[in-house]
A and B are shown apart, each in its own frame.
Chain A
Amino acid sequence: MAKSENLSNAPQTTEAGVPIIEVKHVSKQFDDGKFALNDVSLTVQKGEFVTILGPSGCGKTTLLRCIAGFQVATEGDILLNGEDVTDMPPHKRPVNTVFQKYALFPHLNVFDNVAFGLKLKKIDDKTIEKRVKQALKTVGMTDYEFRDVNSLSGGQQQRVAIARAIINQPEVLLLDEPLAALDLKMRKDMQMELRDMHKLLGITFIYVTHDQEEALTLSDRVVVMNEGRIQQIGTPTDIYNEPVNCFVADFIGESNILSGTMIRDRRVAFCDQEFDCVDTGFGENAPVDVVIRPEDIYIWKSERKHTDDVPDQSDYDPDDRVPKGNFTKWYGIVESCIFKGVHYEMLVKTDNDYEFMVQDYHEFAPGTHVGMLVKPEDIQILHKEHYLYNYFEGEVLKNGMVRFIDADWEVRPDQLEPFAAGDRVRVQVPFSEVDLQDYEDEGTLSGEVHFILYKGNHYHLTIRTDEGYDLFVHTEDVWDHGDRVGIRIAPESITLSKLDVENAQS
């Protein structure tokens, strides 16, 4: 049994490289068939502060609850210190949880709440008293022992909840959105205290949050989750500067995401212009997504257009802030400008109708003509996950229709010509030709707007049909997450080709 002195004399350096928790291919399927976790694997090192970050419903809490033992994974294993704990009940696991709504026992006072775990272990009263005092001191709640927990503020209740968990000297402390119910100022203070506590105690922290700023501030490593899958694992800087896909780029911080083409190594085209960049290995003329953080864009007053060849004398850069050099520049008019405390956030429409979000310490009022540039190293290139066309596998029906994604669609007769009824075909539908209707019964199929990405001059939507298929749509119309839509595809937009095995997958 570890002595209470460990609370204060914890090792300052963490034992790097010793895995304490291993989550191996864990899936959790609920009764309705939906996957809350889908083949999740994660290794947490001893002493680490790991944050699981994602939007609500992404499976982050389910993952935490599987580690705590409140939920049992449908598939896969969870190892704690190398021991399989997948089916071990929560009271036998050497982990403790801090709950989102504190979950303090209302019938017990602060002392008895904190002592709850120790009393179960039949430890003598003197030791209990000493350790409760120490735990309360750690969370800054000395002298609150005999207060009624209901009389405490949210922040104080959360401190007691933390004390109640750490007093058991767990090997891993699980925190389920512990600060979500606190106001902003209190949350910031508690974030710092949690960091200090983590250093002081030397315990492994696994922290669940939907607040990306909190995740970046607190953690050694961030695990970004979406739809039951891990999207990216990395240090806060990695996650922010090198997002692996559009979801991560969009979810972490603000970003401009545009469709582009990688012309060759270190040269990318987007927004009708070519730019130098630092990425290589995408091939030639490969479709890519380009991510530019709004704070990485330099902005200055300028009357030019991107089509002007000669240098313009009207460029205005009195502070000499804009880097000199042979950078590709682009130009536009400020549409809106909001003061954000430290910086201004501007929406700029370029002369060729792309929208950029730009952050700068200087104010550029709406209507100002501006020039913009970005340094090559600040352009982040991503592989395009989906490009221009939806592909489905379908079947030609007797009545001259084609059945795919669980619906029957009309197609042009010339498309049908090479095929006979019963043939399996590959169906191709351009993103831009999927027609969304306001009323779901106006479509051949109905579905829901599942994910929205603004690409500078159009929206890239993911529509999930009621049957569970995903359709990608390019549109200039504004939709909201969760909107119900009717889906129509005009017969002339559907192209059929022979189904070969390789293409069937894409």
Chain B
Amino acid sequence: MKWISVFNSRRTWAWPYLLFLVLFVVLPLLLIVVYAFTDPQGQPTLRNFVQFFHTQEAVNTFIYSLAIALITTMICLLLGYPAAYIMATAELKTPAVMAMLFILPMWINFLLRTLATVELFNMFSIPLGGGALLYGMCYDFLPFMIYPIYNTLQKMDTSLIEAAHDLGANRREVFTKVILPLSKPGIYSGIIMVFMPTVSTFAISELLTHNKITLFGSLIQRAFGEGGIMMWNYGAALSLIMLVIIAVTSFFGDKEESSSQTII
């Protein structure tokens, strides 16, 4: 009797997942923190951070990565919002098909897509570099911007738009005073979903710039991959800095989203 109740209890079923989370999320995070604040001998130190802030190249890479991520996010927003808006509001016969076509590339692994982009640039003899990087990032992450915005716009109660018209708002005012504020949750999820992966990516930049441009993600990867065990502490410190950046952005997003739960 007792055994069955233990077996049936949902709490019992949560244990394996809890174990998983501890082993593969909490423990690695703790390891990063421990490594970031110690030297290779295991002595506590802030040297890793000092080293980062004193290496001009590293700081430049960090700023450059942030800038690329921000620009990518901006371009995706500028391209994605109108696309989502048109799909959600225009009286298209097949809005669902159109939405699916935008999502379709996501079914293909992004490395393959990036390789295809490289081939495309080669075919037209366009040199790879910063421009190619931006193009590739936008191409890869645009769907992540469109989908959440499309989702919020599509669920919007059309009577709100009618109410605004009824109260004297013209089309522009309806957009700025009702539609745009109400699609904020979608915009925030879109920003987070594009910004987070672009700020930490390294594979795309390596492929699309022939390793000419180093992003912050590549820096971390190199610290662990090429630097040998002596560089692990430095790499951990860099990872921690990136984690903080991502945490800050998602915190802003969460605050806005908690008022109206809309996430894909």
A contacts, CB < 8 Å to B: 68-70, 89-91, 95-97, 99-101, 103-107, 116-117, 120-121, 164-165, 168
Question: When the two chains form the complex, which single residue of B163, B169, B178, B182 contacts A99, counting CB atoms closer than 8 Å?
Answer: B163
Q: Is B16 on the interface with A (CB-CB < 8 A)?
A: no
Which interface class (under 10, 10 to 19, 20 to 34, 35 or more) fits B?
10 to 19
When the two chains form their complex, are residues A91 and B170 in contact, meaning their CB atoms are under 8 A apart? yes
When the two chains form their complex, are residues B169 and A103 in contact, meaning their CB atoms are under 8 A apart? no
When the two chains form their complex, are residues A116 and B167 in contact, meaning their CB atoms are under 8 A apart? yes
Give, as a whole number of angstroms, the nearest-CB distance from A150 to chain B: 9
When the two chains form their complex, are residues A91 and B160 in contact, meaning their CB atoms are under 8 A apart? no
A–B Cβ pairs within 8 angstroms, 6 of them: A91-B169, A104-B163, A106-B182, A116-B164, A120-B177, A165-B167
**Most chain A beta-carbon contacts within 10 A, residue among B164, B167, B177, B260:** B167
When the two chains form their complex, are residues A103 and B160 in contact, meaning their CB atoms are under 8 A apart? yes
Question: When the two chains form the complex, which single residue of A70, A89, A168 contacts B167, counting CB atoms closer than 8 Å?
Answer: A168
When the two chains form their complex, are residues A96 and B165 in contact, meaning their CB atoms are under 8 A apart? no
Q: How far is the CA of A70 from the CA of B167 in the complex (A)?
A: 12
When the two chains form their complex, are residues B168 and A105 in contact, meaning their CB atoms are under 8 A apart? no
| Besides A103-B162, A165-B167, 15 new A-B residue pairs in contact (Cβ under 8 A), listed by A number | A68-B162, A68-B166, A90-B162, A91-B167, A97-B163, A99-B159, A99-B163, A103-B157, A103-B159, A103-B163, A104-B163, A117-B167, A120-B177, A165-B166, A168-B168
- Contact A96 B182, CB 8 Å, known A105-B160, A120-B173: no
Q: How far is the CA of A121 from the CA of B170 in the complex (A)?
A: 11
Give, as a whole number of angstroms, the nearest-CB distance from A96 to chain B: 6
Q: Is B42 on the interface with A (CB-CB < 8 A)?
A: no
Q: Which residues of A contact B228 (CB under 8 A)?
A: none
Q: Mark B167-183, 1 if CB is under 8 A from A, else 0.
A: 11110010001100110
Q: Mark B214-230, 1 if CB is under 8 A from A, else 0.
A: 00000000000000000
When the two chains form their complex, are residues B168 and A117 in contact, meaning their CB atoms are under 8 A apart? yes
- Contact A107 B168, CB 8 Å, known A90-B162, A97-B163, A101-B159: no
- Contact A90 B181, CB 8 Å, known A101-B157, A103-B157, A103-B159: no
Give, as a whole number of angstroms, the nearest-CB distance from A116 to chain B: 5
When the two chains form their complex, are residues B163 and A70 in contact, meaning their CB atoms are under 8 A apart? no
When the two chains form their complex, are residues A96 and B162 in contact, meaning their CB atoms are under 8 A apart? no
Q: How far is the CA of A97 from the CA of B177 in the complex (A)?
A: 18
Q: Which residues of B contact A97 (CB under 8 A)?
A: 162-163, 166
- Contact A89 B165, CB 8 Å, known A99-B159, A105-B178: yes
